[in-house]
Amino acid sequence: MSQATRGLAEFLAGLRYEDLPQSVVERTEDLFLDWLASALGSQGQHPIPLFERYAQKMGPADGNCAVLVNGKRTSAYFAALVNGASSHLIEQDDLHNSSVLHPATVVFPAALAAAQDLGKSGRDVILASVAGYEAGIRIGEFLGRSHYRIFHTTATVGTLAAAVTVAKLLDFDTEQFLNCIGSAGTQAAGLWEFLREAADSKQLHTAKAAADGLLAAYMTAEGLTGAKNILEGEQGMAAGMSKDADAKWLVDGLGTRWALAETSFKFHASCRHTHPAADALLDLMQREGLAAEQIAKVTTRVHQGAIDVLGRVMVPQTVHQAKFSMGTVLGLLAVHGKAGLVEFDAFSLTDPRVAAFREKVSMVLDPEVDGAYPQRWLGRVEVETVDGRHLQGAIDEPKGDPGNTLSRPELEDKFQRLLAYSGARTPEQGSELIAKVWRLHQLEDVQVIA
Binding site for its own copies (CB under 8 A): 46-47, 50-51, 53-54, 57-61, 75-78, 149-151, 155, 179, 182-183, 185-197, 199-201, 204-205, 208, 212, 215, 218-219, 222-230, 233-237, 239-241, 308
Minimum Å gap between C-beta 175 and its own copies is 11
Shortest Cβ 136–its own copies spacing (Å): 17
DSSP track, 166-179: HHHHTT--HHHHHH
Q: Which residues contact 157 (CB under 8 A, 6 or more apart)?
A: 99, 101, 136, 139, 140, 143, 188
Smallest distance from its own copies to CB 44, Å: 14
| Nearer residue to its own copies within complex by CB, 239 or 314 | 239
Q: Are 62 and 42 in contact (CB under 8 A)?
A: no
CB of 60 to its own copies, least distance (A): 5
Give the residue with the Cβ less far from its own copies, 26 or 308: 308
In 3D space, the residue among 65, 71, 72 whose CA is nearest the CA of residue 113 turns out to be 65
Calpha distance 368→80 (Å, rounded):
40
Shortest spacing between CB 207 and its own copies, in angstroms: 9
Question: CA-CA distances (angstroms) from residue 363 to 19, 208, 303, 311, 340?
Answer: 44, 32, 9, 8, 22
Nearest to 243 by CA among 146, 98, 141, 139: 146
In the complex, the smallest distance separating the C-beta of residue 289 from its own copies, rounded to whole angstroms, is 41
Q: Closer CB to its own copies, residue 230 or residue 349?
A: 230
The three-state (H, E, C) secondary structure of 214-230, written as one string: HHHHHHHHHCCCCCCCC
Q: What pairs with residue 191 in β-bridges?
A: 151
Q: Centre a 10 Å sphere on the Cβ of residue 338 and count the other Cβ atoms it contains.
A: 16
Nearest to 254 by CA among 2, 1, 28, 4: 4
By beta-carbon proximity to its own copies, the closer residue of 77 and 265 is 77
Beta carbon of residue 67, minimum distance to its own copies (angstroms, whole number): 14
Q: Of 243 and 257, which CB lies nearer to its own copies in the complex structure?
A: 243
Closest approach, Cβ 87 to its own copies, in A, equals 17
- Comparing CB distances to its own copies, the nearer of 212 and 397 is 212
- Of 233 and 398, CB closest to its own copies: 233
Question: Are the C-beta atoms of 115 and 446 separated by less than 8 Å?
Answer: yes
Name all contacts of 369-376 with Cβ < 8 Å and 24+ positions apart.
369/276, 369/301, 369/302, 369/303, 370/302, 370/303, 370/304, 372/303, 373/303, 373/304, 373/305, 374/97, 374/98, 374/99, 374/100, 374/145, 374/303, 374/305, 375/97, 375/98, 376/97
Nearer to its own copies, 241 or 372 (CB): 241
3-state secondary structure at position 155: helix
If the CB atoms of residues 2 and 385 are measured against its own copies, the closer one turns out to be 2
Closer CB to its own copies, 196 or 439, in the complex: 196
Residue ranges in 228-274 assigned as alpha helix (H): 237-241
CA–CA dist 57, 81 (Å, integer): 13
Report in angstroms how near the CB of residue 362 gets to its own copies at its nearest: 21
Q: Provide the minimum distance between the beta carbon of 235 and its own copies in the complex, in angstroms, as a whole number.
A: 4
How many CB atoms are closer than 10 A to CB 407? 9
